[in-house]
Amino acid sequence: MKMNVISYSLTGNNDRLAHSLAELLGAEHVRITELKERTIKRTAFDMLFNRNPEVEYHGNMERHNGAVIFVGPVWMGGVASPFRDCFKKLRKPGGPYAFVSISGGADGPNPKLAGELKKRLRREPAAVVDMHIVDLLPAEPKPTRDDTGNYQITEEEGRALAKRAAASLGEILQVGPTAGEGQSEGGHHVFR
């Protein structure tokens, strides 16, 4: 199946993951960057007022009916706002898609991701793979938001997370090594 990995990353974690995942799956990798500087204030405004920041694409965004795997951070419980432009571009009709993230996880999982994706892309995600930095850190003392927010994954951790994601996606999208044992939640698979 033809496949694109489309990624956005502010501090590098999801870039590392996306790079390894694209390599592992033999997928075309398209990177999203922003035209304006990203600040905490802009992030809060984007998330609160549903703003759609200007972005540019690095790589081949040509449409196809294969699978699209979005890789990027979770912000305030939602998908990072720089994906919004491309979600609009890739609305129905289209092939299956999944969202993969290495997010902080200090406050637990991010249960609203699948609902938001469905709303923005007008169809259910085949899978949501929400992996957490908190699981890479010692359990005690309990990691805080600052601990997870400041953590930079290593290239090795990026490769290990990509393998985990590829295994979860394998069964669902018929790509990469097969493993996936996620829970089915309302038509899509959720892996944590």
Ligand X SMILES: Cc1cc2nc3c(=O)[nH]c(=O)nc-3n(C[C@H](O)[C@H](O)[C@H](O)COP(=O)(O)O)c2cc1C
Q: Where on the chain is the footprint of ligand X (CB under 6 A)? A: 9-14, 40, 43, 73-77, 102-105, 110, 133, 148-149
Cα separation, 13 vs 74, in Å, equals 11
Could you tell me the two tokens for 58? 């690095």
Cα separation, 119 vs 24, in Å, equals 29
> Tokens 């979770």 belong to which residue?
74
**Smallest gap from residue 104 Cβ to ligand X (A):** 3
**Smallest gap from residue 47 Cβ to ligand X (A):** 8
CB-nearer residue toward ligand X: 4 or 148: 148
CB burial of 47-70 (b: ≥16 within 10 Å; e: otherwise) equals beeeeebebeeeeeeeeeebbbbb
| Contacts with 39 (C-beta within 8 Å, 6 or more apart), sequence order | none
CB-nearer residue toward ligand X: 42 or 163: 42
CB-nearer residue toward ligand X: 126 or 133: 133
**Smallest gap from residue 143 Cβ to ligand X (A):** 11
CB-nearer residue toward ligand X: 20 or 43: 43
**Smallest gap from residue 107 Cβ to ligand X (A):** 6
